Amino acid sequence: MLSTSVAGLALASPTMLASGILGYSAESLNRVARAGAGSVVSKSIGVEPRFGYPNPTVVQAEAGLINAVGLPNPGIDLYSEEIKFAKIILKIPLIVSIFGYSADEYATVAKKAVGAGADAVELNVSCPHVQFTGSEIGQNPKLLTEVVEGVKAVVNKPLIVKLSPNVTDIAVTAKAAVKAGADALTAVNTLKALAIDPETMRPILSNIKGGLSGPAIKPVALRAVYDIREELPDVPIIGCGGVMDWQDAVQFFLAGASAVQVGTAVAFDDLEVFASINKGVENYVRKKHYGSVKEIVNLAHRS
Amino acid sequence: MSTSLIAANTLRTTEIVQIRTDSPSVKTFAIVDRLCAKAKPGQFLMLWIPGIDEIPLSIMDVNNGVVSVSVKQVGDATRHLHDMAAGQTVGVRGPFGNSFTESRGRVLLVGGGTGTAPLMFLAKQLSAKTERLSFVEGAKTKDELLFIRELNGICNEKSLITTTEDGTYGLQCMVTQPLASLLDKEKFDMIYTCGPEVMVKKIFELTEQRKLPLEASLERLMRCGIGLCGSCVIGKYRVCRDGPVFTAAQLREVQEELGISKLGFDGSRIPF
């Protein structure tokens, strides 16, 4: 009923842990797996260790969170040990999120991640708050093509590209990614945002700007998934952005997503959110007389 | 979606109403905040020092809407905070995390350094309810022993043991030293502790050998405070969300890390 697949990855449930949430240690990832996630995505890993930004790195907005944590990570060489350990204890696919400052760096990290046992890689070409990487690559179809082609040439595992919503037309970057070799797309990363404290008259985040997640961006993310599906009938899509409950998840499936990633909801409903979304989706699929969650994907495009 | 968590996580700016110097390195800051004034002993808040940093702090006391936190000067953020004056503005989020359980009967509290702060809050709440409250407090020197006068008011003379590493006050030893004999001599229904993780580990070993119940408040590098970023994990637990108070049973599950290693700012494991 809940099992599905994305670009050849078999998932026992269609909910995944979004990148950036927990994801340093194998034990944390395993706890998310046991909570019901069908797959987990690691923190974004680069070539070298990175300390990230000083606090405040997360700020509450009207209907979501704005974060600029700054891609802290121990670097792929150290993280490879964590991937190896995770592969021993995890019973679900492990997707390693990757970032770099050039096509070469993305390829280097991807190759090492797969070498250590990653079941797939997700390219972070959409982080809105670190210079010279993330969305600065993903917003530029030429750079995006170079990065995706570079990674595709060196890995034999599913290649997922996580897209930025901070573009004029997401179908353009989606098409560029798929043409360059992406096996699946995650739509979307956070929406670039700002919070100012009136009393002290300052931006709150130490990095000033960050990425907005949560309920505030769900309709935007849903539209992005729908737009990509209209242009690309076959590419597997993972919906991401403000999935807080099973109703949100179902909407993403109907719009064209085969699975959803959950992040911000962990802050407000804790890890139980995975089991609760799974249960709600299962009840919905049954109530609508379908045999599997796979059968409801794309159904909003019928008319 | 939990509306109470959204309210707690929303940044409030407020004035520092009072600053008290407790030791050469520790000051206690009092701020007005309705939400944090409802905190329970063991919970923490995130304090924003505008333009500098935002740091996790255990709540030391709540009183009529006023919240107190005791802060040791250890780095850049705490140095800036120590330089601030009453009337200046800070930001606050919280309260976050779980709290100590309220045990009846005979209880023992063991505090090391500023780890004494959340235990002060707990001691005040428990003193009227417990049969007997004993406190062991340790610090490097006499000057750094916190809240001795208040603790003398809560405990009687016999049930307050103080230790200093240099012997300038109380027993000259580590705070863990007098514990073994105390635990053998007296019967306790609950032991609470907070302090450096290496100290917590030693106390955990002592209570485990004697099969005694323990609740320990841990401190780790924290960023989000709401269980998302993973900076403060120990084993499968997040100190900010699953803790900061952990039971003996939970500590058993994270023995490989307790007092041995923690995550650094880049997520790599660094030894204590």
Write the ipTM. 0.94
Q: Write the residue in A24, A197, A268 that is nearest to B263 by C-beta.
A: A24
What's the mean pLDDT when you consider all of chain B? 95
- Region of B227 (left: φ > 0; alpha: ψ -120 to 50; beta: rest) is left
With contact defined as beta carbons under 8 Å apart, do A61 and A216 qualify?
yes
Whole-number pLDDT of residue A303: 63
Give the Cα separation of B88 and A100 in Å (integer).
41
When pLDDT is averaged across residues A193-199 and rounded to a whole number, the result is 97
CA distances from A86 to A73, A82, A94 (A): 16, 6, 8
Any B CB within 8 A of A189 CB? no
Residue of B nearest to A264 (CA): B228
Using the CB atoms, write b or e for B129-167: b if 16+ within 10 Å.
Answer: ebebbbbbbbbeeeebbbbbeebeebbeeebbbbbbeee
> Whole-prediction pTM value?
0.95
Model confidence at B4, in pLDDT bands (50, 70, 90)? confident
H/E stretch holding A79: helix A76-89
The verdict on A48 touching B (C-beta cutoff 8 Å) is no
**pLDDT, chain A, mean:** 97
CA distance to partner chain A, nearest, from residue B235 (Å) = 6
Decide: A267 and B228 in contact? Cβ < 8 Å.
yes
Does B220 contact A at CB distance below 8 Å?
no
Task: Determine whether the interchain pair A22/B238 forms a contact, defined as Cβ–Cβ distance below 8 Å.
Answer: yes
* Catalytic residue list of A: 127
What tens digit of pLDDT does each residue of B86-141 get?
A: 999 999 999 999 999 999 899 999 999 999 999 999 999 998 888 899 999 999 99
Identify the pLDDT of residue A132. 87
Residue with tokens 């006391």: B61
Give kind and range of the element (H or E) at residue A218.
Answer: helix A218-231
Q: What pLDDT shows up at residue A300?
A: 97
Q: Does residue B157 belong to the interface with chain A, where contact is any CB pair within 8 Å? A: no
b/e map of A245-265 (b: 16 or more CB within 10 Å)?
A: bbebbbbbbbbbbbbbbbbbb
Instruction: Tell me phi and psi for residue A300, to 5 degrees.
Output: -70, -10
From the list B5, B6, B223, the residue facing A55 with the nearest CB is B223
B51–A200 C-beta distance less than 8 A:
yes
What domains can you pick out in chain A, each with its CATH number?
A: 4-301 (3.20.20.70)
Amino acid code (one letter) for A211: G
All structural domains of chain B, each given as residue ranges with its CATH number in brackets, are: 3-96 (2.40.30.10), 106-271 (3.40.50.80)
> Please, how many CA atoms are within 13 Å of residue B125, restricted to the half-sphere of its CB?
19
Contacts of A215 (CB under 8 A, 6+ apart): A63, A64, A242, A244, B1
- Are residues A24 and B5, on separate chains, in Cβ contact within 8 Å? no
Report in angstroms the alpha-carbon separations of A74 from A50, A53, B67, B268, B271: 6, 14, 37, 5, 15
Mean pLDDT confidence for A131-155: 95
Closest CA to A269 of A192, A214, A187: A214
Q: How far apart are CA B262 and CA A303, in angstroms?
A: 54
Task: Write the residue in B46, B50, B268 that is nearest to A49 by C-beta.
Answer: B268
Which amino acid is it at A48?
A: E
* Average pLDDT rounded to a whole number, residues A210-235: 98
**Does residue A38 have a pLDDT over 70?**
yes
3-class secondary-structure state, position B251: helix
The residue of chain A with its CA nearest to that of B1 is: A268
Using one digit for the tens of pLDDT, what is the confidence trace for A262-276?
999 999 999 999 999
Q: Collapsing DSSP states into helix, strand and coil, what is residue B189? A: coil
Chain B partners of A20 at a C-beta cutoff of 8 Å? 228-229
With 0-12 / 13-18 / 19 or more C-beta atoms within 10 angstroms meaning exposed / middle / buried, residue B199 is: buried
52-111 of A, contacting B, C-beta below 8 A: 52, 54-60, 65, 67, 69, 72-75, 78-79
Q: Do the Cβ atoms of B1 and A28 come within 8 Å?
A: no
Residues 25-44 of A with CB under 8 A from B: 25, 27-28, 30-31, 43
> Which chain A residues are closer than 8 Å to B98 by Cβ?
none
- DSSP tag of A56: P
How far is it, in rounded angstroms, from Cα A12 to Cα A3? Answer: 4
Task: Pinpoint the alpha helices (H) of chain B.
Answer: 3-9, 76-82, 116-126, 148-154, 179-185, 197-209, 248-253
Lowest mean pLDDT among A217-231, B44-58, B142-156, B209-223: B142-156
> Distance from A117 to chain B by nearest Cα, in Å?
19
pLDDT confidence band for A253 (50 / 70 / 90) = very high
Instruction: Tell me whether B270 touches chain A (CB under 8 Å).
Output: no
Given this model, what pLDDT does residue A109 score? Answer: 98
What is the token pair recorded at B228?
Answer: 């998302």
Using the predicted structure, report yes or no on whether residue B168 has a pLDDT greater than 80.
yes
CA–CA separation, A245 and A265 (whole Å): 8
CA of B226: which chain A residue's CA is closest?
A267
pLDDT reported for residue B2: 76
Q: Does residue B89 sit at the A interface (CB-CB below 8 Å)?
A: yes
Q: Which conformational region is residue A181 in: left (phi greater than 0), alpha (psi within -120 to 50 degrees), or beta?
A: left
- Contact with chain A for residue B221, Cβ under 8 A: no
Q: Is the pLDDT of residue B1 over 60?
A: no
Query: Residue A103's closest CA among A126, A133, A128, A76?
Result: A133
Buried b / exposed e along A125-145 (16+ C-beta atoms within 10 A): bbbbbbeebbbbbbbbbebbb
Interchain proximity B226–A58, CB inside 8 Å: yes
Query: Which residue in the set B10, B223, B263 is minimally distant from A69, CB to CB?
Result: B223
Q: Distances from the Cα of B5 to the Cαs of A214, A242, B48, B122, B173, in angstroms?
A: 14, 17, 18, 23, 43
B131 to chain A, any CB pair closer than 8 A? The answer is no
For residues B45 and B96, give the distance between their C-alpha atoms in angstroms, rounded to a whole number: 6
Partners of residue B191 on adjacent β-strands: B108, B214
